[in-house]
Amino acid sequence: MFLLGTLVNTLAIAAGALLGRLLSGIPESIRQTVMQGIALAVIVLGVKMSLDTNNILIMIVSIVLGSIIGELMGIDKNLNRLGQWLEKKMGGNRQGTIATGFVTATLVYCIGAMGVLGSLDSGLRNNHDILYTKSMLDGLSAIIFSSTLGIGVIFSAIPVFLYQGTIALLATQINSLVSPAMLEAILAEVTAVGGLMIIAIGINILELRKINVANMLPALVIAAVSVPLVEWLDTFFK
């Protein structure tokens, strides 16, 4: 069952979010300090991921073009609008609580190499070890996120299932179109660009500055496309 790893990951996030709600009564000062600690850890993770790049120009071009496309598409606005719709359906009395939890958790869980690599491994080899590991990490972080950002975190399980499930479903086609070496190069650049977004998420959590991270999401696609394009151009002009 190629979707088993994705299903486990989805359930881990939902279970963690529900468990986190039981801890919502902790003092505000503790919650704030915990969130600051999480933000610092997220930033360190983002820095580590961004150092995976083998071509800094691909990273820069991807972020610039991706941000322009994302702004034109209004991805961040639409994500927040969806979160606010969930807020109304849940009868939330703290405006923005569910929306913030949903958007923040969705970005954290969907951006990163483990989701892509794990989903590919599930689809190609029916090996779910990477996604099982991601499930433990996501489940633990969901407890903390939910206890501080609210129940909106639980809804992030839906885009995680759709995102990783789609990659696993298309894994066979991806494998037939891209060589292992090319796939590794693509993942390196996608991971690096994703690292920049992870850093931005950490900055948002610290409330140092509001960065529309969701509007940068097209940069991941641009990074993936840029790798074979750059290789083709190198070959063409040699």
Q: 154 lies in which domain range? A: 4-236
Average pLDDT over residues 111-123: 76
Residue scoring higher pLDDT (9 or 101) = 9
Average pLDDT over residues 120-133: 81
Question: What is the DSSP secondary-structure string of 17-74?
Answer: HHHHHTTTTS-HHHHHHHHHHHHHHHHHHHHHHHTT-S-HHHHHHHHHHHHHHHHHHT
Mean pLDDT taken over the chain:
83
Residue 160: pLDDT over 70? yes
Single pTM value for the model = 0.74
Average pLDDT over residues 34-60: 86
* Total domain count, the chain: 1
Residue 130: pLDDT over 50? yes
Average pLDDT over residues 171-197: 81
Residues 128, 10: contact at Cβ < 8 Å?
no
Question: What region, left, alpha or beta, does residue 53 occupy, with left being phi > 0 and alpha being psi -120 to 50 degrees?
Answer: beta
Residue 187: pLDDT over 90? no
